[in-house]
Chains A and B, each alone.
Chain A
Amino acid sequence: MSRFSPFAPTDIEMATPAPHSLKPQLRLIGPGDNASGGYDVAEAFRHFSAYVAHIATRILGREDDIDDLVQDVFCEAVSGLKKLREPAAAKGWLATVTVRMATRRLRLRRLRLALHLDAPVEEVAWPGASPEQSAMLARVYRRLEKEPARHRIAWILRVVEGESLETVAQVCSTSLPSVKRWIRGVQDRLAEEGIVNVG
């Protein structure tokens, strides 16, 4: 199970400082409170905002939308987290919401691309990446841009993030056979373009 698995124990925390500006009145969790197993938004943000930003960055392939997406996810968390019966499920729930919101953004981006309102993926100089690595990443993301949003996300979660197929199916809200087919399809098309080898 990868470090970022939504189903990893919730005590694997990201190095994120406490967001003191989240006020106490945002503690809206569950029938009880933290003592009875609830989970509040401030706590969720402290533990998982870096995680949400990480998977969003991997999926979207650029940083310019990340802040808005993280903001949207945690605004939805205010009402969503209180419905969770099991606090340990918070991370998985946040992953699902992140994937859903990233899907919307990817679809919107495809539409904008079709209407020439957005530019295709450009090479991003990721810190720590060699020029060749950055060029290859841009090539992969350019190919992924042509894939349906959910197929792209399933491939990223499985191949790049190393999540189990069951986890990917759950996060993408689809069945296991569909996820397998989506991932294989993306893999085949990347192989056709010589970006990956078929394994």
Chain B
Amino acid sequence: MSDEQNKMQILFAPVEPDWSPGRSARIASRIDRRLNRSPLRRWFPLSFGLAAVGALAFWFAVGTLRGPAETVLRFDDGSVVTPLSVASRVERLEGTDPRVGVRIRGGAVHFAVTPNPERIFYVDAGPVLIEVLGTDFTVSPGSSGTRVAVEHGRVRVRWSTGNAILVNGESGTFPPRETRAVQPEIIPTTEPIVSAESNSETPVKAVRSRSVANRVAWKSLAQSGRYEEAFVELDKSVRHFGGTSVVDGAEALLLAADTARLSGHPTQAVPHLRELVRRYPRDPRASLGAFTLGVVLLDELGRPRDAGPAFALSRKLAPRGDLVEDAWAREVESLFRSGDSGNARRMAEQYLKLYPSGRRAPSVRRFGSM
């Protein structure tokens, strides 16, 4: 990035404050006045009690208040725990390797945990316990449960009667409503978090039990072709439970993607399709999922740069499948549309070598500029 850095440093060179002695003295004088206000004057604004409380509540709601810098916890391996509001209370738990623990006593807290398969990082958030390998996520305890939102990576949320796994971009409120009445103590285990592949069916078990009604509703609506109504039900579940956790099985993910797409919400189809190829790469429908993802990104969302890799994945998942020629042609088109005509031509040449009289040859020639 150094060339780019040099260019940016030159570009930004004029962005400097006009820091004159007069301006500096003026600010110093304002600081002085502010610090030397009488206690009565200093605290007078707080007499507007309701207004202040209202404003504070507003700031809390939009997450703009940060805890004091001193409350940030830093670990030797580079992991950082950051309180997100003045109400956030967090403490490090005493423990020995391979377990490292943090307890949240209130307020939202952000975690940036450095990946380390040798130890288990866990968060005690009262009724739920979160275990993590390496990830960024936020935990927000609330009266209706503890909300866990994973930005990147993978965590397991455990509560008294079950557990769920959340991955990139997923979020949810735990424990599930019907289990909140019973809250025995949760003991952290040394059981490691299993890989995505070996745990593909178990992560969302507990969440799944809550969502039966919604799942039945959206599925039956979608299967009868009522995609708009199905999308409303599906969207409710996704918003309530978070991410794609309400949808299980390759077939259901494909159906959820179709529901979103065919009801005019292509953006919402993308996470279901990504989840399908991530969670079920060996499923015969994975290649179709990747191809559909490419079509949505290229044709409906105008993102050719993202569409190319999806078509490439479709070919890779089923090298002898029915879609391979189509995926190849659409990949050439994606490369062309993203401005990478060199690679488009290279891909086109490879296609014509493999399929000299292929049914997509005209399209490949056109987008390969041949």
Contact = CB atoms under 8 A, between A and B. Distances in A.
Interface of A: 14, 16-17, 19-23, 26, 45, 49-50, 53-54, 56-58, 61, 63, 66-67, 70-71, 74-75, 78, 80, 83, 93, 96-97, 100, 103-104, 107-108, 111, 126-129, 133-134, 136-137, 140, 159-160, 162, 169, 173-178, 181, 187, 192, 196-197, 199
Shortest beta-carbon contacts, A-B, top 7: A19-B28, A175-B112, A129-B14, A126-B14, A199-B1, A128-B14, A53-B17
Contact of B34 (A17, A75, A173): A75
Interface of B: 1-5, 7-9, 11-19, 21, 23-32, 34-36, 62-66, 69-70, 72, 78-80, 82, 110, 112-115, 134, 136, 152, 305
A199 B3 contact: yes
B82 A173 contact: yes
A111 B55 CA distance: 14
Contacts of B28: 19-22, 45, 49
Contacts of A80: 69
A65 to B, nearest CB: 11
- Interface secondary structure of A, over-half rule: helix
Contacts of A75: 31, 34-35
B8 A107 contact: no
Given A58-B12, A162-B5, A181-B152, A83 B70 contact: yes
A187 B4 CA distance: 10
B24 A19 contact: yes
A58 B64 CA distance: 21
A20 B110 CA distance: 41
Contacts of B2: 199
Contacts of B8: 159-160, 196
Contacts of A111: 62, 64
Contacts of A22: 28, 31-32
19 contacts: A16-B21, A19-B29, A21-B28, A26-B35, A67-B23, A67-B27, A67-B30, A71-B30, A75-B35, A80-B69, A103-B66, A111-B64, A129-B14, A136-B11, A159-B8, A169-B78, A175-B78, A176-B78, A199-B1
A97 B29 contact: no
A137 B64 contact: no
A192 B195 CA distance: 33
Contact of A127 (B18, B78, B82, B152): B18
Given A21-B29, A128-B14, A174-B82, A197 B114 contact: no
A93 B70 CA distance: 11
Contacts of B32: 21-23, 26
A47 B66 CA distance: 27
B260 to A, nearest CB: 24
B16 A54 contact: yes
B146 to A, nearest CB: 22
B324 to A, nearest CB: 29
Contacts of B70: 83
A107 B4 CA distance: 27
Contact of B112 (A97, A128, A177): A177
B15 A137 contact: yes
A189 to B, nearest CB: 11
Given A23-B32, A49-B24, A137-B12, 18 more contacts: A17-B25, A19-B29, A21-B28, A21-B29, A45-B28, A58-B15, A67-B27, A70-B27, A71-B30, A75-B34, A80-B69, A100-B66, A128-B13, A137-B11, A162-B5, A174-B136, A177-B112, A196-B4
